[in-house]
Every structure is written in C-alpha cells, then in structure tokens.
Structure 1
C-alpha cells in the first residue's frame, strides 16, 4: 500500500486570495495563515504570494524582484539595468532565516523608471519596453531571474511550503489591498525557486491549480509575439496569454476569460442574444490557439483587482466568500474561514464564468 507522499495527487496545489473593494490595507500574515489548512495540497516544492498596494512610497516606479545565483551575476545585471533605467532604490529583500527554507539565491529588489531617451530611440511605449527588458533578462542572462516587475506590487516565492515562504519573506511587515497565494504540488515539472507561483509580468500575476494540456499550442502562439517560456512549468504561459490579450489586444477581462475558457461551440450556438453570440464566435475564431484546455482554477491579479476563473468543465475546486468590503477566494472553504470566520455568501463559481472584483476607483 502506498503511503502519503508516495502517490501522485493530480488535484494538488492550493490557491487563495483576498481583496478589499474599498482599498483598505490587509496585512500579509492573513494570506499566509490562509494556506495552513491546505498544507496537504502542497509538497514543499513551491510556495508564493503576490501583494498589491504594498509599495506606496515607490508607487510610481517598477519594482523588480530578482533572484541571482552570484554577486557577479548581480553586477552584470545591474549594468544592463543602468543602461535602460534610472535606479532610484536598490536593496536586498529582507528575509527571516528559517530551517524550512534552504539554498536560497541572492534575493534583490530594484525600484526603477525607464529612461525616456532609450524608449524613444527604440520607439517603444513604457510597458512594452519594461516587458521586453524582463523577458530578455530571463531568457538571455543565466543565473538572473526577474520574478516580479509591476508598479506598487510585488511577488514573493521560494521552494517550500507556502506558510514557511510567508514567514521567510516576513509578509507580516507588508500591507496591501489585495493578496494572492499558492502552494505547489508539481506533477510534471521540477520544483525550483523560479518555478514557484505566482508567475508575473508587469503588474499581472497568476496562481494556478491544475494542468495545461494545451501548453505547447499556447506557448507556440505567444512566442510568435516575443514572449519566452523559460521557467519549466506550464503555468507561466497563462501570464503571457493574459498580457497579450489585455495589454496588447486591449480586450476586456470578460473577453479574455472567454478566450482562455471559451464556451463550447454548442453553448455558443444555443445563445439567444445575437450580439453575445457574435462576440463569442469572433473570440473563438480569432484566438483559437489561446484556448487553455485541461483542468484549472486560477486567480489573476492586476493593479486594482482580481479575477478568478475555472476551466469550463470545473475540474478543479474553487470557492468564493464575502464579508463587508472584502472578497475571499480559495481552493477550500477552510482557507476562507481562516481569513474571516464569519464569511458570508459562500458560493462555487460555475466553470468558465469569471469572478471579477475591482477596487473602487481612486482607492488604490
């Protein structure tokens, strides 16, 4: 008989999230504690968090969180950055050494502003310029990895159980209006620091439970537009899909959800609203290679909100709850009850139907 830890758990991985509609600050220890009742969904090979609104003093600058394998790599990367950005702050990310987190790389952060002269010479707008720089570092600079690159947000991840990762990064010292979390149980890819969730680009972040059977088709499509999948896990591609659909193609969140979790053709045919039917036909026809197949539940973070989404067959669990101005999302209700014992309006979103929560305008 196989014992726990000796058998593959295809429904493994845990996700959790919380957001304040009013933009009120939430301490990072709340999201860390939410992962404790889902401990057995992870196996210690990856945990991570994303916090939004955590850098108010540097809210107008891109916060680059980076792993380096050596001081020489850091110096080489800094030279690359100084040619393209004004670095207004450079520092090691504070951590709390604990036995559970081992073999950590050099963990650094830079607050930067793109150099207008360089952007102008390349004829690139700001976000496109930053995205290209991030992708280039991750693809061409061995031993250096940008794992967060948004404004007024940051990700924190490592090899370990998520509750240990939160303690390691001292998340109780951060406060944000929105948090996401992930505990990883890798099934087909290795567990390493860069492969832990969330995966990010600019202010977009993804935590994911499931497997992407369409990964090769999705990857080939996005790589035609300059993205590079280098992190040895299928989830990375969802971040680039969302960046492409929202930032490049300027789709709405609802439209992007209808691309990656597209309704079946039979469902579209049965729609009585002609305009709605035309929209779904257009999206399925225009972006067929960006349909994400396989079981998944994801939480997508962005400046000012969150979106939760299941695959259209709902093959992975996801539950949502509310209390006052806060909305909670998780793989299990127990995690929500840890964040808010008196949570109300508990519901389980249908497959393929996005749950979108936005902070009221101006609050963040």
Structure 2
C-alpha cells in the first residue's frame, strides 16, 4: 500500500516508561469541551506533560462554518503546521492537486498561552481544517497505478478512502518524516471528526484551541506517558488518526512492537511516528477498512481469545477465531493495553473500548440513562464521575453518578471484553444510545427506577429524631421502598437539619450507612438516590468548617488552638 515510499529510521533516545490517562464518552446530546477539564486535570499524574490530545466525533457544522452535508460527506483533513511557512507548499503539492476544497477552517488559538497555560513549554502547532473531496481524475489515476490488491477497484468508495490514506502518508513522509523535517503532519482525515494534540496536557489542548464551547457527541481525552517514540513532538501524542474515520488512544505498551511493525510492513503499511499506539491504529484500520472485517473479527484480531474462554465458545466461532489467529496472531499487540476508539460510521457516532486479555491496565466502563443517555470508558471511575459532575452543574438532565459501572474481562466468552457505544439517529430527528458487546449482543442501558425529581406538596419527611443511628437506618430501609422522590428528598433534608440537634456524628453515621450499603430503594433510581445521599453528606461535612461542633478537630476561630 505505502511500502513504495522512502524508508527511514528514527532513534529511540527519548523513550520513557509509564502509564497513560484516558477518558471517552458518547452522548445522545452534544457535550462541550469544558466538561472534560476536571476529568483530565484529575489524571495529570498519569501523564508527564509531553503529549496530550483529544478527539471529537459528531461535530456541530456551524462551529466550523459549513453545512450538515459538507460535514458528513467531506473529509475533514486537519493539518498541523509546526512551521507555518510550509503551509503554501503543503497546499500546492498535496491538498489542491488531489482534492476539491469545499471550505477551510483555521482553528483558533489562545494568544496568551505563555501566560495562561504555564505547563506548556512549546507552542502547539497551527492547525488548519480542510473540508475536502478527492478529485475523480486523481482517483482514477490512483486506481490504475497504485491501488493495493486488497482493495476492490470496482468499489469506488473504498478506492477513495485508500486514496485519502495514501495522500496522507505521502504528505507525512514529505513534510514530517523525510530527513527529520517535522514541518507539518496530518492530524486526522475522517468525516465528521477531528483530532488535536500537543506537547502538553490534554486539557491544555482544549484551552489552547478554544474548544471550551465546541460540542461533539463523542469525545476522547488522553494524557501520554511515553513508552516509545519522540516525547517532545506533538506527532507522537495520542489520539492517532491514521485510520480513515477513526481515532485511537491506548494506555499500555506493546512488548512486540517490532513484530507488529513487520506484520504491517508485509501488508504495505509503514509507521512514521514510531509509537506503539500508531501501529495499533494502523492494525485496526487494516482489518476494518482494507480487509472489511466486521467489528467482532477486528476485535478478535487485536485481542485473541484463548484458553477456557476459547473452549467455551460455540464451535462455529472457534473455527472462525482459529482462522483469524493463525493469520494475524503475529500482528496482535502483546503486552498490557486498553484501547479507546472514536469512530465516525456514516450517521453513527461510535465509542469503542477494547480490553486486552492480560487486563494489566486499568479500565472502567459506565453509562447513565435519564432523559438522555450517556456512556463512558476510562482509566478510572473518578474521571467518569468528574465529567458527570461537570455536566450536572449545567444540565439537570444529568446527575453525578452513573447507573452502572463495570470492569471488562478481556477475551471473555460472555461479552468479549469489549463494548461499542453507538449514537444512532432516530426517526424523530434525535439521537439514541445503543450499547453492544464484541459479539453484537445488545446491552440494556435502560435501568429501572424513577429519575424524575418532581416537586410535590406531599413531602413529609420520615421522623427519625432521637433514634440511634442503626435504628434510624433500619427505619429508612423499611420506608424507602414506598417513598416517592419528594418524600425521599425531604427525609435527606431532615437528616441534614437534625445534625444540629443530634450532632453531626449522627448525621454522618446515618448518611454513610445509606451511601455504603446495598438495600431495596423501591421505585427510585439507585444512582440518583446515592447522588443525593452523597450530596447531603458533603454539605454536612462542609458545614463543620464554618460552624464547628464539640467534636471538630481544627481551628474553630482565629487564634484558637485545637
């Protein structure tokens, strides 16, 4: 495919070891970039400031100055110019000869970055977004001269995608890889999607490129802690968008990087950025786009099923999986890793989380279903909760806890250890979240329980005053299955108010039991109930600082010595 291009070698002087921080979300309603701030800031310890990036899928065309048709049909060809003087050369040699340019959008940049973004040591590249369509005559020429045998020349769409892929590779070789130039490179070349990355932290990507109010249905944020490649260049940061219409990040490292690189070379794909994530992105694109595997088989090629899980599979799956493993096992990433992939699949906006079979990298999946649905995958539960808390402060359709959290078991015969969150269009013009596992089985994202916090005149709280903590807890458990939201909220407010009469220790003890233990909550949504319980506990604890009680250990007033 691109094996005909010049070869070169990079030094591995700047390789380092560590882990990465990742978070991804897929939402039925557009989410603004500012809602990832707290989540990404909490994960700074998972990066070292040498590489951060974000990916967006399901964009708002108005924010890029185009109409819906242009956004969905044109390739958003995002080029990072490390030396802006090369923009004219890139456009004259690579962009205009190969593409019809429907629109050009220059990403805004924070002019005061040196003052406001103190963690940035290097100015991020200038990014220009070209909305392009391949020129038909160039595609015809490409088919006659250079089309790989794996691509059907009669499949015009597949040929165009390969043409875009090859044009990107040619641009990256000429302006990034050859002779160590590093003047410009392509960030992404998908439809209705964008990748941005810098030498820095991921939240500074949002701030520098002024993405606070930019919305998307799918977001990925990534802090890089390099295990391979140049650590002081944005080209090595994640996400990687080498594949058409997709962006991939990962936490982990490959012990067989050279083997995967050789596997790709045998199939005409040549990595340029010298990172294990890049070869993972290329392998995903090779199997999905070039070979046309369905998603189950793409996941199997990356994370092959083994041992007992393989034995537990139906015989027909064993036969197919055996063929995949015999063909691709030497190209399967080995070592601990967790992939998060954002994908634009026509009208579907997709988030994918894939766990490797060793499960030596942290991963958490979650979803919340209220008036709207939202799903997550990330490095840790706290970063998911941070996004929900940010959303809940602005939008009452969200609350601070997900309905379900779980860890996937890589290669599991029950669900495959991988989940796909699709944001699909509905007949009414809205969006619907549909979750499936590796095998295509639909996972129910509609938990039971009422989440509508309606107001009512009948909000008489449960009488708990004077009861010991354990008795009060049992009284709440007995009454809760029969409560509606007005009475349940009134009861929590009463527990907070009783802190002054019964003492904060009483309220803390009761609220902690309600937060930590499992019990029947009747018609109420459990996640929302726990959110309200935790909020009551936080307010009660916080009140101790401005109104200390006898048990408060600390400075009650100025000059007081505890």
User: TM > 0.5 between the two?
Assistant: yes
- Alignment of 1:276 with 2:317, yes or no, is yes
- Equivalent runs, 1:235-314 vs 2, <5 Å: 235-264=277-306, 267-268=309-310, 270-271=311-312, 273-303=314-344, 304-314=349-359
- Alignment of 1:19 with 2:32, yes or no, is no
- On the 8 A contact 1:64/1:148 being kept in 2, the answer is yes
Q: Deviations over 1:303-354 (max 9, x none)?
A: 1211101210100000011111110111011101011122121111112311
Q: Do the aligned partners of residues 272 and 228 (structure 1) sit closer, same or farther apart at CA in structure 2, a change above 3 Å counting?
A: closer
Q: How many residues align?
A: 353
Q: Which residue of 2 aligns with 1:42?
A: 47
Q: Which residue of 1 aligns with 2:378?
A: 330
- Alignment of 1:344 with 2:392, yes or no, is no
Q: Which residue of 1 aligns with 2:167?
A: 133
- Alignment of 1:182 with 2:222, yes or no, is yes
Q: Which residue of 2 aligns with 1:29?
A: 34
- Alignment of 1:160 with 2:165, yes or no, is no
Q: Which residue of 2 aligns with 1:212?
A: 254
Which range moves more in the overlay, 175-184 or 118-127?
118-127
- Choose from 92, 110, 118 the match for 1:96: 110
- On the 8 A contact 1:31/1:180 being kept in 2, the answer is no
Work out the CA distance in 2 between the residues paired with 1:180 and 1:292.
21
Q: Do the aligned partners of residues 322 and 117 (structure 1) sit closer, same or farther apart at CA in structure 2, a change above 3 Å counting?
A: same
Unaligned segments of structure 2, at least 5 residues: 1-15, 62-66, 148-158, 177-182, 389-399, 412-416, 432-562
Q: Do the aligned partners of residues 121 and 190 (structure 1) sit closer, same or farther apart at CA in structure 2, a change above 3 Å counting?
A: closer
1:267 Cα offset (Å): 4.1
1:273 Cα offset (Å): 1.4
Higher strand fraction (1 or 2) = 1
- Choose from 109, 116, 132 the match for 2:136: 116
Secondary structure of the structure 1 residue equivalent to 2:301: helix
Higher helix fraction (1 or 2) = 2
- On the 8 A contact 1:18/1:31 being kept in 2, the answer is no
Unaligned segments of structure 1, at least 5 residues: 1-7
Q: Deviations over 1:104-137 (max 9, x none)?
A: 3332221111111111222262111101101111
Secondary structure of the structure 1 residue equivalent to 2:55: strand
TM-score by length of structure 1 reads 0.92
- Alignment of 1:203 with 2:245, yes or no, is yes
Q: Do the aligned partners of residues 78 and 206 (structure 1) sit closer, same or farther apart at CA in structure 2, a change above 3 Å counting?
A: same
Structure index of larger Rg: 2
1:225 Cα offset (Å): 3.0
TM-score by length of structure 2 reads 0.60
Q: Which residue of 2 aligns with 1:86?
A: 100
CA RMSD between the two structures: 1.8
1:265 Cα offset (Å): 5.0
Q: Do the aligned partners of residues 153 and 211 (structure 1) sit closer, same or farther apart at CA in structure 2, a change above 3 Å counting?
A: same
